[in-house]
Amino acid sequence: MKSTRWSALLPVMLVAALPLAAQLDADNWGKGTPGVTLVTHEEPREHTAKGTVLWYNLIGKGFPEGVYTLWRWVPGKSPEPLITGVSFDKRGVLVCSGKPGYCKGGGPDDPVNLKTTAALGEMKRLAVVSEDGKIAAFVDAVPFPIEASDKTCTLSVTRSSPLADAMVVRAAGLKRNQLLTVTTRYGTAEATEKPMSASDGTWQEEVRSPDTKQASGKALISVSDRVCNVSVTFDYGPGSNQPQ
Protein backbone atom coordinates (compact mmCIF):
# COMPACT_ATOMS: atom_id res chain seq x y z
CA MET A 1 0.00 0.00 0.00
CA LYS A 2 3.01 2.28 0.10
CA SER A 3 2.69 5.67 -1.53
CA THR A 4 2.74 8.69 0.74
CA ARG A 5 5.10 7.86 3.62
CA TRP A 6 4.34 9.62 6.87
CA SER A 7 7.42 9.06 9.00
CA ALA A 8 6.76 8.37 12.67
CA LEU A 9 10.48 8.99 13.22
CA LEU A 10 10.22 12.69 12.40
CA PRO A 11 9.86 15.14 15.30
CA VAL A 12 7.47 17.40 13.33
CA MET A 13 3.85 16.28 13.57
CA LEU A 14 1.03 17.40 11.29
CA VAL A 15 -1.39 18.60 13.93
CA ALA A 16 -3.81 21.44 14.53
CA ALA A 17 -5.78 22.56 17.57
CA LEU A 18 -8.07 19.71 18.62
CA PRO A 19 -11.40 19.94 20.47
CA LEU A 20 -11.05 19.22 24.17
CA ALA A 21 -13.34 16.19 23.81
CA ALA A 22 -10.91 14.64 21.33
CA GLN A 23 -7.89 14.91 23.61
CA LEU A 24 -6.42 11.63 24.86
CA ASP A 25 -4.42 10.95 27.98
CA ALA A 26 -3.05 7.86 29.68
CA ASP A 27 -6.22 7.38 31.73
CA ASN A 28 -8.63 7.10 28.79
CA TRP A 29 -6.25 5.42 26.35
CA GLY A 30 -7.65 2.08 25.23
CA LYS A 31 -11.30 2.92 25.93
CA GLY A 32 -12.58 2.18 22.45
CA THR A 33 -16.05 2.61 21.01
CA PRO A 34 -18.07 -0.64 20.80
CA GLY A 35 -18.38 -1.93 17.23
CA VAL A 36 -15.32 -0.04 16.00
CA THR A 37 -12.01 -1.84 15.45
CA LEU A 38 -8.53 -0.95 14.22
CA VAL A 39 -5.80 -3.34 13.05
CA THR A 40 -2.29 -2.93 11.65
CA HIS A 41 -1.06 -4.18 8.30
CA GLU A 42 2.71 -4.52 8.20
CA GLU A 43 4.65 -4.25 4.94
CA PRO A 44 7.86 -6.31 4.46
CA ARG A 45 10.61 -5.18 6.82
CA GLU A 46 13.66 -3.37 5.52
CA HIS A 47 16.94 -4.36 7.18
CA THR A 48 19.52 -1.58 7.30
CA ALA A 49 22.80 -0.91 9.08
CA LYS A 50 20.93 1.36 11.51
CA GLY A 51 18.21 -1.14 12.35
CA THR A 52 15.07 -2.69 10.93
CA VAL A 53 12.75 -0.22 9.23
CA LEU A 54 9.07 -1.01 9.76
CA TRP A 55 6.13 0.17 7.63
CA TYR A 56 2.53 0.02 8.82
CA ASN A 57 -0.89 0.78 7.37
CA LEU A 58 -3.99 0.96 9.56
CA ILE A 59 -7.30 -0.68 8.64
CA GLY A 60 -10.54 0.20 10.41
CA LYS A 61 -13.97 -1.39 10.61
CA GLY A 62 -17.19 0.19 11.79
CA PHE A 63 -16.01 3.80 11.49
CA PRO A 64 -18.69 6.25 10.30
CA GLU A 65 -17.63 8.49 7.42
CA GLY A 66 -15.90 11.58 8.78
CA VAL A 67 -12.71 13.33 9.82
CA TYR A 68 -10.40 11.67 12.34
CA THR A 69 -7.07 12.20 14.07
CA LEU A 70 -4.30 9.62 14.27
CA TRP A 71 -2.66 9.42 17.71
CA ARG A 72 0.37 7.61 19.08
CA TRP A 73 1.72 6.86 22.56
CA VAL A 74 5.51 6.51 22.88
CA PRO A 75 7.00 4.89 26.03
CA GLY A 76 7.99 7.51 28.56
CA LYS A 77 5.81 10.23 26.99
CA SER A 78 2.17 11.27 26.96
CA PRO A 79 -0.23 10.36 24.12
CA GLU A 80 0.13 12.82 21.25
CA PRO A 81 -1.67 13.54 17.95
CA LEU A 82 0.31 12.55 14.87
CA ILE A 83 -1.85 13.43 11.83
CA THR A 84 -5.14 15.34 11.71
CA GLY A 85 -7.68 15.09 8.90
CA VAL A 86 -7.35 11.37 8.19
CA SER A 87 -10.25 9.22 6.99
CA PHE A 88 -10.94 5.70 5.71
CA ASP A 89 -11.36 4.62 2.10
CA LYS A 90 -13.85 2.01 0.85
CA ARG A 91 -11.45 -0.80 1.83
CA GLY A 92 -11.18 0.54 5.38
CA VAL A 93 -7.59 1.73 4.89
CA LEU A 94 -6.59 4.91 6.73
CA VAL A 95 -5.91 7.57 4.08
CA CYS A 96 -5.39 11.23 3.34
CA SER A 97 -8.27 11.85 0.96
CA GLY A 98 -7.15 15.28 -0.22
CA LYS A 99 -10.71 16.60 0.14
CA PRO A 100 -11.30 20.01 1.75
CA GLY A 101 -10.81 19.73 5.51
CA TYR A 102 -8.84 16.49 5.21
CA CYS A 103 -5.09 15.84 5.04
CA LYS A 104 -3.43 15.65 1.62
CA GLY A 105 -1.16 12.95 0.26
CA GLY A 106 0.30 12.23 -3.16
CA GLY A 107 -3.16 11.78 -4.69
CA PRO A 108 -6.79 11.04 -3.83
CA ASP A 109 -7.26 8.58 -0.95
CA ASP A 110 -3.52 8.17 -0.44
CA PRO A 111 -2.82 5.50 2.24
CA VAL A 112 -1.12 6.72 5.40
CA ASN A 113 2.09 4.71 5.70
CA LEU A 114 3.83 4.86 9.06
CA LYS A 115 7.59 4.43 9.11
CA THR A 116 9.29 3.53 12.37
CA THR A 117 11.93 1.46 14.13
CA ALA A 118 11.54 -0.41 17.41
CA ALA A 119 13.59 -1.65 20.32
CA LEU A 120 13.21 -5.10 21.82
CA GLY A 121 9.98 -5.21 23.81
CA GLU A 122 8.76 -1.83 22.57
CA MET A 123 5.03 -1.58 21.89
CA LYS A 124 3.74 0.66 19.11
CA ARG A 125 0.47 2.15 20.38
CA LEU A 126 -1.85 3.90 17.95
CA ALA A 127 -5.38 5.29 18.00
CA VAL A 128 -7.82 6.86 15.57
CA VAL A 129 -10.27 9.31 17.16
CA SER A 130 -13.09 11.43 15.73
CA GLU A 131 -12.98 15.22 16.02
CA ASP A 132 -15.61 15.21 18.77
CA GLY A 133 -13.95 12.35 20.64
CA LYS A 134 -17.07 10.14 20.47
CA ILE A 135 -15.57 7.51 18.12
CA ALA A 136 -12.23 5.92 19.03
CA ALA A 137 -10.35 2.71 18.32
CA PHE A 138 -6.94 1.57 19.51
CA VAL A 139 -4.34 -0.90 18.29
CA ASP A 140 -1.00 -2.16 19.61
CA ALA A 141 1.88 -3.87 17.83
CA VAL A 142 5.06 -5.36 19.31
CA PRO A 143 7.47 -5.90 16.40
CA PHE A 144 10.19 -7.52 18.57
CA PRO A 145 8.54 -9.22 21.55
CA ILE A 146 10.16 -10.35 24.78
CA GLU A 147 8.27 -13.53 25.63
CA ALA A 148 8.61 -17.09 26.88
CA SER A 149 6.46 -20.11 27.73
CA ASP A 150 6.50 -23.10 30.06
CA LYS A 151 3.87 -25.84 30.02
CA THR A 152 0.53 -24.01 29.73
CA CYS A 153 1.94 -20.63 30.81
CA THR A 154 3.06 -17.73 28.65
CA LEU A 155 4.82 -14.55 29.72
CA SER A 156 5.47 -11.34 27.81
CA VAL A 157 6.89 -7.98 28.86
CA THR A 158 6.77 -4.62 27.10
CA ARG A 159 8.53 -1.37 27.90
CA SER A 160 6.59 1.34 29.70
CA SER A 161 9.83 3.32 30.01
CA PRO A 162 12.45 3.82 27.29
CA LEU A 163 15.28 2.18 29.28
CA ALA A 164 13.22 -0.82 30.45
CA ASP A 165 13.35 0.08 34.16
CA ALA A 166 9.54 -0.16 34.10
CA MET A 167 7.85 -3.01 32.26
CA VAL A 168 4.26 -4.14 31.75
CA VAL A 169 4.15 -7.86 32.53
CA ARG A 170 1.42 -10.10 31.10
CA ALA A 171 1.04 -13.78 31.99
CA ALA A 172 -1.59 -16.23 30.78
CA GLY A 173 -2.34 -19.94 31.13
CA LEU A 174 -1.83 -19.81 34.90
CA LYS A 175 -3.83 -21.70 37.49
CA ARG A 176 -6.96 -19.74 38.25
CA ASN A 177 -7.14 -17.70 41.47
CA GLN A 178 -3.69 -18.92 42.42
CA LEU A 179 -1.12 -17.22 44.63
CA LEU A 180 1.83 -16.41 42.36
CA THR A 181 5.49 -15.76 42.97
CA VAL A 182 6.75 -12.88 40.84
CA THR A 183 10.48 -12.16 40.92
CA THR A 184 12.06 -9.05 39.44
CA ARG A 185 15.85 -8.85 39.23
CA TYR A 186 17.90 -5.96 37.82
CA GLY A 187 21.62 -6.65 38.01
CA THR A 188 22.08 -8.03 41.54
CA ALA A 189 19.03 -6.25 43.03
CA GLU A 190 15.98 -8.48 43.44
CA ALA A 191 12.40 -8.10 44.62
CA THR A 192 9.58 -10.62 45.07
CA GLU A 193 5.82 -10.15 45.32
CA LYS A 194 2.88 -12.53 45.82
CA PRO A 195 -0.11 -11.43 43.70
CA MET A 196 -3.11 -13.56 42.78
CA SER A 197 -3.92 -14.72 39.27
CA ALA A 198 -7.34 -13.79 37.89
CA SER A 199 -10.28 -16.17 37.47
CA ASP A 200 -9.31 -16.63 33.81
CA GLY A 201 -5.73 -17.63 34.64
CA THR A 202 -4.13 -14.32 33.68
CA TRP A 203 -2.10 -11.72 35.56
CA GLN A 204 -0.94 -8.28 34.45
CA GLU A 205 0.92 -5.52 36.22
CA GLU A 206 3.56 -2.87 35.70
CA VAL A 207 6.74 -3.74 37.58
CA ARG A 208 9.66 -1.43 38.25
CA SER A 209 13.30 -2.19 38.87
CA PRO A 210 14.34 -2.69 42.50
CA ASP A 211 16.91 -0.25 43.85
CA THR A 212 20.13 -1.05 42.04
CA LYS A 213 23.48 0.66 41.81
CA GLN A 214 23.97 -0.82 38.35
CA ALA A 215 22.87 1.73 35.73
CA SER A 216 22.67 -0.95 33.07
CA GLY A 217 22.88 -4.69 32.73
CA LYS A 218 20.69 -7.78 32.55
CA ALA A 219 17.22 -8.01 34.02
CA LEU A 220 14.99 -10.99 34.75
CA ILE A 221 11.26 -11.24 35.42
CA SER A 222 9.75 -14.59 36.37
CA VAL A 223 6.23 -15.75 37.25
CA SER A 224 5.43 -19.05 38.96
CA ASP A 225 2.08 -20.62 39.87
CA ARG A 226 3.72 -23.78 41.36
CA VAL A 227 2.90 -25.73 38.20
CA CYS A 228 4.89 -23.73 35.69
CA ASN A 229 7.72 -21.27 36.10
CA VAL A 230 8.18 -18.93 33.17
CA SER A 231 10.79 -16.18 32.92
CA VAL A 232 12.28 -13.67 30.48
CA THR A 233 15.60 -11.83 30.45
CA PHE A 234 16.46 -8.56 28.73
CA ASP A 235 18.91 -5.68 28.79
CA TYR A 236 18.10 -2.49 30.69
CA GLY A 237 19.66 0.96 30.99
CA PRO A 238 21.39 3.21 28.45
CA GLY A 239 21.80 1.47 25.10
CA SER A 240 19.08 -1.11 25.75
CA ASN A 241 16.61 0.79 23.55
CA GLN A 242 18.60 0.63 20.35
CA PRO A 243 16.56 -0.32 17.25
CA GLN A 244 16.59 -4.00 16.36
User: Please, which residues have CB within 8 angstroms of residue 117's CB and are 6 or more apart in sequence?
Assistant: 9, 50, 51, 52, 53, 54, 243, 244
- Tell me the residue type at 179: L
Q: How far is CA 13 from the centre of its chain?
A: 19
Compute the distance between CA of residue 129 and CA of residue 136 in angstroms, rounded to an integer.
4
**Predicted confidence (pLDDT) at residue 12 exceeds the cutoff of 60:** no
Q: Is 10's pLDDT higher than 80?
A: no
Listed in sequence order, the residues at least 6 apart from 193 whose beta carbon sits closer than 8 Å to its beta carbon are 182, 184
pLDDT at 146 over 60: yes
Distance CA 181, CA 170 (A): 14
Which range of 6-15, 19-28, 74-83, 119-128 scores highest in mean pLDDT? It is 119-128
d(CA 100, CA 90): 18
Give residue 1's pLDDT.
56
Identify the pLDDT of residue 22: 60
pLDDT of residue 7: 45
User: Residue 45 — left, alpha, or beta (φ > 0 → left; ψ -120 to 50 → alpha)?
Assistant: beta
Mean pLDDT throughout 128-133? 93
User: What is the location of CATH 2.60.40.1930 in the chain?
Assistant: 146-236
Question: Which residues have C-beta within 8 Å of that of residue 28, sequence separation ≥ 6?
Answer: none
Compute φ and ψ for 16, nearest 5 degrees: -135, 175
- State residue 4's pLDDT score: 43
Residue 48: per-residue pLDDT: 96
Region of 155 (left: φ > 0; alpha: ψ -120 to 50; beta: rest) is beta
pLDDT value at residue 212 = 78
Res 84: pLDDT: 95
Tens-digit pLDDT profile for residues 67-110: 999 999 999 899 999 999 999 999 999 999 999 999 999 999 99
Task: Express each pLDDT in 166-210 by its tens digit.
Answer: 999 999 999 999 999 999 999 999 999 999 999 999 999 999 999
Q: What is the pLDDT of residue 170?
A: 98
pLDDT at 13: 38
Q: Which residue has the higher pLDDT, 88 or 7?
A: 88
Give the rounded distance of the alpha carbon of 35 from its chain centre.
21
Maximum pairwise Cα distance, the chain:
61
pLDDT band at 127 (very low <50, low <70, confident <90, very high): very high
Which tens digits make up the pLDDT trace of 219-244? 999 999 999 999 999 999 999 999 99
Instruction: Extract the runs of DSSP E, i.e. beta strands, from the chain.
Output: 5-7, 37-42, 46-48, 51-61, 68-73, 80-88, 94-96, 110-111, 113-116, 124-130, 136-141, 146-150, 153-159, 166-172, 181-186, 189-193, 203-208, 217-224, 229-236
Single pTM value for the model: 0.87
The architecture in CATH of the region 146-236 reads: Sandwich (2.60)
Predicted confidence (pLDDT) at residue 23 exceeds the cutoff of 60: yes
Per CATH, the number for 5-141 is 2.60.40
Question: Quick check: 214 pLDDT over 80?
Answer: yes
